[in-house]
Structure 1
């Protein structure tokens, strides 16, 4: 099953299309949502163990155009 992380991301204006394409190249990023509000994107990351998260976040932070990332472990999930 793995560990699911939800991350809110702010990106520099005008970089969203290229940034999204880079995110899609990271296999552990399983969902990308464009959102309104303080952040530009909401992504879901799925890793096997928590130690893997550091490497994935570092990959995301190296993508040009990122301003901020705020990540949270998903403790429980309900879906209709």
Structure 2
């Protein structure tokens, strides 16, 4: 089950983003749209690897991190 917690919009309304919380995985994600088309859905998790192949550590980011990512999308900081 997921909940849309926040929505962000660019001034020209061409880009928008939804901050979503997934209750099953307990991870925030950001759905990024352009012209009402989903461009990408990004889980707010950073994986670290020791040799580039095997994940050795995973950092699950906060709601405020997800909100920052959503804002960066609508401002055009993220492509």
- TM-score, structure 1 as length reference: 0.30
Larger Cα-atom Rg: 2
Q: Which structure shows the higher strand fraction?
A: 2
TM-score normalised by length of structure 2 = 0.30
- Structure of higher RCO (CA pairs closer than 8 Å, 6+ residues apart): 1
